Structure 1
Amino acid sequence: MPHNESDRRPAIEQRTIEVIPDAERHGTPLSQFTLWFGANMQITAIVDGALAVVFGADALWAIIGLLLGNVLGGIVMALHSAQGPRLGLPQMISSRAQFGVYGAVLPLLLVIVMYLGFAATGTVLAGQAVNKILHIDNPTVGILIFGAITAVVAVTGYRLIHVIGRIATVVGVLGFTYLGIRLFLEYDVSAVIGAKSFDAVTFVLAVSLGAGWQLTFGPYVADYSRYLPRHTSERATFWATFAGSVIGSQWSMTLGALVAAVAGKKFLGNQVGFIGDLAGPSMVALLIYLVIVTGKLTVNCLNAYGGFMSILTSVTAFTGRSTTSALARGGYIVGFTAVSMLIAIAASADFLDNFKNFVLTLLMVFTPWSAINLIDYYLISRERIDIPALYNPDARYGRWNRTALTAYLLGVLSQIPFLAQKLYTGPITTLLGGADISWLVGILVTAALYYPLARRTPNTPTQMIYPPNFLPDSATSQPHSRT
């Protein structure tokens, strides 16, 4: 069903992993700002910001480190988003150009695990907020209710997800501004700013937490810019995505760092409850719980939607299909959401520590993937992709790309000596006093391996190749706007 700009109803989405035709493109880069701002104004980002202080950083240095990490990771994340209008494809379908049609499944499996992990941890916190609203003590009830709402929105698809993002932007600004004011009224925040001296280890942890937060959006960020008109400026798409994600996440993480600094153990054992208590009167607390649910709903729908797209991309690599039925699409999303709810119900009580290790572990597997995807797209292929070949293992990109897969695996392995994890601390990390710089090592090693090898053996068409009958011949040869 074609979507015209005048038709803004959240009709059930029909497209899946195929390229989006020009006739169905709509929206402006502003939609990327509101989506990513709303998705980051949420309770899990507050927890992420709190972690740096919980594990020893001074509040001021934690906020600076988180900002640096958000900016660095946000640049990478937004460069992925800028691919969306040009290609009209989900992010992980386009990665077949680097890894091969079958080879792209390897990072895809890790992406699916990531979605499940974030969906589960987010559902735990959102479920607590639902329980507070309904005055129910059984955590399973809140998890099930929130999971059901997530499935409905994700099944409806792209348009409704963007609507929820706009709502989350407005209520997030209002709710988080109010919480910030309450925090300064209830606690002596100035007393915890600069109370500790600079510590390199905890500062690097804060940078890694901010960067990791942004980098984990990379595998699905273009899923939400692929409906933008093909002539949309890459620069505008980049900056709208970057600003929305970095400002939203930094705002939330700053609040988290300050809350952890002034509240300590009061926050650690009861994150959602503490935020509700901070809100004050019960009616206002109820509204804040609704803010928490709205923000978590936005990002959890991204996880369910992205999880479905990743599973379908993995399956179709071997079946050769580029579409699926609406019934199958709904089944994938419901199944994914159900699994994430089961994980949430069984989640460990040691939430903060497990979440820190989860985020930092994801950094290890996604920084090499981002490096390969961006280097190939912007420096090797120079934004020229043979789209039909992405669905055919016997075409240009083949089944496996040994160069990309080798660089990817070595990029992951190179980080092991630099890890600082609960279960393992690398020998070089010990020499550095515990500072985890593994994600930087992963980017540099992967880039150093992949770029010279891929440049010697390019597999690039002379211009973008779209599916037959997708565009008029004259449109195919038009230069792409970068302004």
Structure 2
Amino acid sequence: MSEKHAVETRGIEPVPDSERHGRVRELFHTWFAANISVLLLTMGAGLIVFNGLNLWQVLLVALCAAVVSYGIVGLLTVSGKWGGAPAMTLSRSVFGTRGNLVPGAVTWVARFGWETVNAVTGAYALLSVLDLLFGIRSNTALIVVTLLLFVGTTFLVSGLGRNALLWCNRWSAYLFGIFSVLVLGYLVATVDWSAVFSRPSGTTAMVIAGIGTIAAGGLSWAPSGADFARYLPRGTRSRGIVGTAIGGAGVVVVPMVLMGAVMAVGTPDLATASDPVSFIGDLLPIWLAVPYLLIALVGMVLINSLSMYSAGFTAQTMGVKLPRAWAVSINAVISLVGGLLLMLVATSFYGSFITFLTILAVSFSAWIGVYGADMLRRYRGGRHRQGRTRYDEAALLDTTPRSAYWFKGGFCWQALTAWVLAIGTGLMFTRAALSPTDVWFAGPWADSWIGRNGLAWVVTIVVGALVYSLLPQASTGAVETEPEPEQPHALIPS
């Protein structure tokens, strides 16, 4: 597929060198757009209301969460330039052509949940705009229509593919940045700053737990990073890939979380609202609230489009015999149904959202640990074997016993063992609650120091990486390609 085509037709097959004309600065806009969500305001408010933190602690939480989560995302994104294929396709080289179906299925299901949450937030944003401009109150029929409109638009944008996403990401970043500055200026002029800065500090445990909560959203992009980097030339600087992930996400996450915290000082109900968006109309004047909500709505469309774009590859990797543009329809339908349930049935959006993030962090962290350890093994092997750090591109697409990534019966038991043990260990330290009194799930070690500090996701990554590294390496017949020397261009955009 030529990059000049309006609709991307390439699926999970590796991108040939002749078509690798991407630039690393495109990733900056991608990760910027991936975080244009008013949910960050709600999460910032939660740090004030539920975690009991002060503004300086919220700033620390936001900075650490952005650097840690998107640092991990950036490191795993490097595999995209190595193999030129989506992450869940490259994952076949780790888990085996059949074994990869197991973590692939979990990742696919997790995407359903994430896309549902974003679809609901987008629908609420549209409902809020209708209420502010025309006084139209929400009802069941209107909820169905707005959700259909949001999911349909998401399906269209994600179906168009890479070029459409890059164009939308760039312009939404500029617009959202401008209006966020306006909102920040309004808050600076109107907020009772004495109340903001007089808040007592929270406990260290709540700071650490807050980092985990905010970081969970970032970690959910780890299995997608390579999808956006597969058009980068092989010689692209890895440090630029990591830097754009941290910078593009951090420039949105930090101010948004801080703004939510500031808003919550005067409006603590923000953190517990069943509708996570309408409060913007109460806190901002209509001339600012409406355009800000519209731009945020565009951002949430893009977040879901990026997620569905990757979901199309995951579906193809799972064996769905549809072109990528149509494979995303499965996610679109499920997010529509899930969105209706969340908007019409769930009593607490924030509680449901945080519960989902908690479980999501564990499931993705297990894959991150194993996949990251495999990347490190390939990197180290390349240093000692004249740079042989790449993937066998033909074997990635071959799902028969002839594939170099067939391992034993189609399964790499070392990787699957590490993945299962990591998830099991992480859940032992996990507590998922819809509210302080409504505990949905609690592992036997949830009350330990690790559990109370919300570090189950860290334990999950460490266990997955350690177990995989310590087990004997599975042999393959892979023919790995020699890398080209890294070029001095493609650094973090100034």
Aligned to 2:386: none
Contact 2:74 2:246 in 1 (8 A): yes
Range moving further from structure 2, 39-48 or 148-157: 39-48
Residue 405 (1) aligns with residue 416 (2) = yes
Aligned to 1:374: 372
Aligned to 2:443: 426
Aligned-partner residue type, residue 405 of structure 2:
Y
CA distance in 2, matches of 1:442, 1:236: 27
Aligned to 1:70: 66
Contact 1:276 1:288 in 2 (8 A): no
Q: Which of these residues, 110, 113, 116, is aligned with residue 117 of structure 1?
A: 113
Aligned-partner residue type, residue 115 of structure 1:
R
Per-residue CA deviation, residues 405-431 of structure 1 (Å, 9 max, x unaligned), is 001100111122311221223343324
So what's the TM-score if we normalise by structure 2?
Answer: 0.87
Aligned-partner residue type, residue 114 of structure 1:
A
Compared CA separation, residues 230 and 478, structure 1 to 2 (3 A): closer
CA shift, 1:167, in A, is 1.6
Compared CA separation, residues 416 and 271, structure 1 to 2 (3 A): closer
Partner SS, residue 286 of structure 1? helix
Partner SS, residue 429 of structure 1? coil
Instruction: Mark the runs of 5 or more structure 2 residues left unpaired by the alignment.
Output: 383-388, 434-439, 489-494
CA shift, 1:267, in A, is 5.5
Aligned to 1:345: 340
Aligned to 1:44: 39
Contact 2:405 2:478 in 1 (8 A): no
CA shift, 1:223, in A, is 0.7
Q: Which of these residues, 237, 241, 244, is aligned with residue 237 of structure 1?
A: 241
Per-residue CA deviation, residues 189-208 of structure 1 (Å, 9 max, x unaligned), is 34223612331332122110
Partner SS, residue 424 of structure 1? strand
Residue 198 (1) aligns with residue 202 (2) = yes
CA shift, 1:186, in A, is 2.6
Partner SS, residue 431 of structure 2? coil
Residue 396 (1) aligns with residue 404 (2) = yes
Compared CA separation, residues 189 and 291, structure 1 to 2 (3 A): farther
Q: Which of these residues, 23, 43, 48, is aligned with residue 28 of structure 1?
A: 23
Contact 2:51 2:202 in 1 (8 A): no
Aligned-partner residue type, residue 421 of structure 2:
L
Aligned to 1:467: none
Aligned to 1:470: none
Compared CA separation, residues 330 and 386, structure 1 to 2 (3 A): closer
CA distance in 2, matches of 1:242, 1:460: 36
Contact 1:58 1:192 in 2 (8 A): no
Q: How many residues align?
A: 455
Aligned-partner residue type, residue 387 of structure 1:
E
Aligned to 1:363: 361
Compared CA separation, residues 194 and 369, structure 1 to 2 (3 A): farther
CA distance in 2, matches of 1:141, 1:158: 28
CA shift, 1:102, in A, is 1.0
Structural mapping, 1:155-166, within 5 Å:
155-166=159-170
Compared CA separation, residues 480 and 97, structure 1 to 2 (3 A): farther
CA shift, 1:171, in A, is 1.4
CA distance in 1, matches of 2:194, 2:214: 23
Contact 2:46 2:261 in 1 (8 A): yes
Aligned to 1:99: 95
Aligned to 2:492: none
CA shift, 1:217, in A, is 0.4
CA distance in 2, matches of 1:190, 1:294: 34
CA distance in 1, matches of 2:463, 2:104: 21
Q: Which of these residues, 383, 391, 415, is aligned with residue 385 of structure 1?
A: 391
CA distance in 2, matches of 1:457, 1:307: 28
CA shift, 1:13, in A, is 0.5
So what's the TM-score if we normalise by structure 1?
Answer: 0.88
Partner SS, residue 102 of structure 1? coil
Aligned to 1:278: 283
CA distance in 2, matches of 1:266, 1:218: 29
Residue 291 (1) aligns with residue 295 (2) = yes
Aligned to 1:87: 83
Contact 1:27 1:228 in 2 (8 A): yes
Aligned-partner residue type, residue 437 of structure 1:
L
Aligned-partner residue type, residue 385 of structure 1:
Y
Aligned to 1:474: none
Per-residue CA deviation, residues 381-401 of structure 1 (Å, 9 max, x unaligned), is 543211211222422211100
Contact 2:15 2:231 in 1 (8 A): yes
CA shift, 1:478, in A, is 5.3
Per-residue CA deviation, residues 324-378 of structure 1 (Å, 9 max, x unaligned), is 66xx434322232122011111102311011011111111111121111111122
Of all paired residues, the percent bearing the same amino acid is 25
Range moving further from structure 2, 374-383 or 166-175: 374-383
CA distance in 2, matches of 1:62, 1:460: 50
Compared CA separation, residues 81 and 190, structure 1 to 2 (3 A): farther
Contact 2:73 2:218 in 1 (8 A): yes
CA distance in 1, matches of 2:287, 2:470: 60
Q: CA RMSD in A?
A: 2.1
Aligned-partner residue type, residue 152 of structure 2:
A
Aligned-partner residue type, residue 227 of structure 1:
Y
Structural mapping, 1:223-262, within 5 Å:
223-262=227-266
CA distance in 2, matches of 1:389, 1:27: 24
